[in-house]
Amino acid sequence: MPGSYIVAGARTPIGKMSGALAGFSAAELGAIAIAEAMKRANVKPEQVDHVMMGQVLMAGQGQVPARQAAVKAGIPLHVPAVNINKVCLSGINTIYLADQMIQAGDADIVIAGGMESMAGNASQISDGGSAVVVMSKKAADACGVQPLGEVVSYGLVAGPDNISLLHQPSRAIQNALAKIGKKVSDLNLFELNEAFAAVGIASMKELGITDDITNVNGGAIALGHPIGMSGNRITLHLLHELRRRGGGMGAAALCGGGGQGDAIIVRSL
């Protein structure tokens, strides 16, 4: 089946509570990221087939904030949009779903992102938006762009209890690796979301990896954790860092409320 490529992406800064982004709605933050991601991908709004945006705190945000963000970014009204709520996993899960849509032949260009304007969370209370443009090879060739990377595998795990939350990022990575017959040692770089400090430490220990290849540009404790955005952000950061280092393959993973975990494995191109 045809695979998919992450061609380009963009994110807003991450704002602190009552900080510079406090006056923006989640849809406005998402729109900023979407518009810039399309610009970097050399994609016109009318070329987009579908929009998926992760978001968790949607109360009071109006109907389908993903569609609001898409329209604010200039995407035509005939393009469908959907919100994904998988708690902290929302922003990375949109990439998985975009990849599945492209592999199924239902779309060639999908915007996958995440956005949040937060009221409070265990990590730093933060606002932000992130988006990537996911394309089929046919669309990437037609647009004349060099992709950041390709989606290689994806892992989804859940339960069995709340204690396992600490290890869900590492379990999800192992799940993704098993699908492609690879080992942890085949990966060059890791992004582990720090919803809590213990999550990163526990997952690093279980994977047997060191901090010189993990969250090398800072994690959620330093940067903030806008919950609908974070999975998208860490995937984008991973791809840019792999390119800076000359290529390779890496994994981004998170734990999520409800005892779940998601991971994506990407290869730099």
- pLDDT value at residue 171: 97
pTM of model > 0.85: yes
Domains and CATH numbers, the chain: 4-143 (3.40.47.10), 149-268 (3.40.47.10)
Q: What token pair was written down for 90? A: 């929302």
Report residues of the chain scoring pLDDT below 70: 1-2, 119-124, 162-163
Catalytic status, residue 255: yes
Catalytic residue selected from 50, 143, 167, 255: 255
CA 214 to chain CA centroid, nearest Å = 17
Catalytic status, residue 225: yes
Catalytic residue selected from 50, 167, 225, 237: 225
Instruction: Match 């600490």 to its residue by tokens.
Output: 166
Using alpha carbons, list the distances in angstroms from residue 114 to 84, 98, 143, 171, 233: 9, 13, 24, 23, 8
Which phi-psi region, left, alpha or beta, contains residue 161 (left: φ > 0; alpha: ψ -120 to 50)? beta
- pLDDT value at residue 102: 97
Catalytic status, residue 167: no
Q: Mention every residue, 6+ apart, whose C-beta is less than 8 A from residue 185.
A: none
Can you tell me the distance from the alpha carbon of 256 to that of 74, in angstroms, rounded to the nearest whole number?
A: 31
Catalytic residue selected from 50, 88, 143, 237: 88
CA 264 to chain CA centroid, nearest Å = 9
